[in-house]
Structure 1
Amino acid sequence: MELTQLKYFLEVARTEHVTQSAKNLCIVQPALTQAIHKLEDELGVALFKTAGRNIKLTESGKFFYDKLQPLYESMMALPDQLRATADQQNNNVKLNVLAASTLITHAVIEYKQDNSEMNVDLVQNEETNVFDICVRTYSTYRPELDNTNSDETFIYSEKIYLAVPNTAQYKKTESISLFDLKDEKFIKLYGSKQYRKICNELCNRIGFHPNVTFESDNAAAIKEAVAAGIGVSFWPELSWGKMDHKKIKLLEITNTEFKRDLVISLRRNKQDNSKTEQFYNFLTKYIHQKSRKHG
């Protein structure tokens, strides 16, 4: 059975008039009659019977029409449904945020203000490779160790400072060696595996072992704890936001280059990646703008 044959059958069954159906289908009547006969031969049953000068559906024809009509309509609707699905996929971005979650969340919120139709599906899963865009961090990014199979990668090197109470002890200090803080209490971020690993790696690189006495899973809580004199903490300059607390001072660490690389990877997973690429470009531009303001 060919799709054209089914289309012809449905039209003749609807009108029960070959001549009128041929006009509606914009074909000659002999061609329509031949197509109906061929379909009947293939099915092995008569679909129509003569009734005077007209034709009527046989019982088999009625059964075939009742079963075929909804199937044919569903098939005809498929192209529009496929296009709608493609549009929906294009408007959906799966964003895996493994670093700088506060910064990236603010970027998503700002983007959606002007792009309300965009659905950003935020996930945080180090084990998954199912994403359109992924945000990660390394002490030093090396492409040869990248297993994300990304089509495009953006890298921003973010300086890490030491946040200390703005007290007389640090009033005239702009930079510091970590070894001057061997007896100081350190506050660390709990729950951010990648960032904490980087801080540990940087400390191990110079042989420094911080005395961690308090952990928090919230950057704002760490800020308040440092301001209260509970301890000191490593502070990434951009992703945690500009230090706006008068009771806190940021010191440059002199022992080694204390920084991390924020890496945003783009995958072109869809037939139409235009919206994903648009959001990716916004993210990279957003980080550049924030870094200029911060500087």
Structure 2
Amino acid sequence: MRRRLRRVALRLYERLLERELSGAPAHVAVIQDGNRRYAESKGRPRTDGHEAGAETTEAMLRWCRDLGVEELTLYAFSTENFDRPADEREALFDLIEEKLYAFADRDEIHDHEVRIRAIGEVERLPERVREAVAYAESRTRGYDSLHLNIALAYGGRAELLNVAREAARDVREGELAPAEITPEELDGRLTEQATRDVDLIIRTGGDERTSNFLPWHANGNEAAVFFCSPYWPEFRRVDFLRAIRTYESRQASWRRTRAERARALVGTLTDVDLPEARAVLGRFRESLPEDADGEYEPAD
């Protein structure tokens, strides 16, 4: 009876959260942490934790589709994971290979036009995994409704280092001038990776760090970050809704800060500058959420 009441309360809480949300971030990136610890807490082999985590991944894809998220990037295998024991590493490769083929052949992937891509140093992966990557990418290449990026053999510092080396090589060979190394130039060299800036990073498992994940696309965009204690296999839709609420609060706070800075700037201007400055401040105010009395709502 108590378990049933808990499920009912959870569903009601989900509905309440969903009603509070005004939209969804365009690009969500997830650090799927805690698979091994989940298995250990259940007294099961570590590989069982990865299997359970794969089920959450499938659910996450549905939640993103239902809520209007346009891009989802999953940190499936980092460059540091190559240091794991050989048997665990091979089990992970088996699971990744199996899921890539399964996803690429799944009806809902094609019905909802989900494009699958791998990002990272894919060439470092075993041939069987590379073949599964190629199969999934070729089967979904023409789709554009939801982008699913699987980060494999991925490390953010290595990604930026490779781009810096490419730019240095092009400068040395006369194909690029030093003054042409701009944020836009580097961004263009990263277009084979995530296609848009990251709006929200989620990390499960209790650790509060972003683990070198998408530093250019997330930090440059000042992405919101949501840390939560459930292990990845335990991550629920209600946790995802709470993460999106954190993103919305972060966006509202950011807009409010910009308006406050603009207001302070107006106070330093001369009478000649004031009409134009006030017009700019008015546009900032229009972008802020208002309550029934027309006052600015405080951030959560």
Tell me the TM-score normalised to structure 2 length: 0.20
Of Structure 1 and Structure 2, the greater helix share is in: 2
Of Structure 1 and Structure 2, the greater strand share is in: 1
Tell me the TM-score normalised to structure 1 length: 0.21
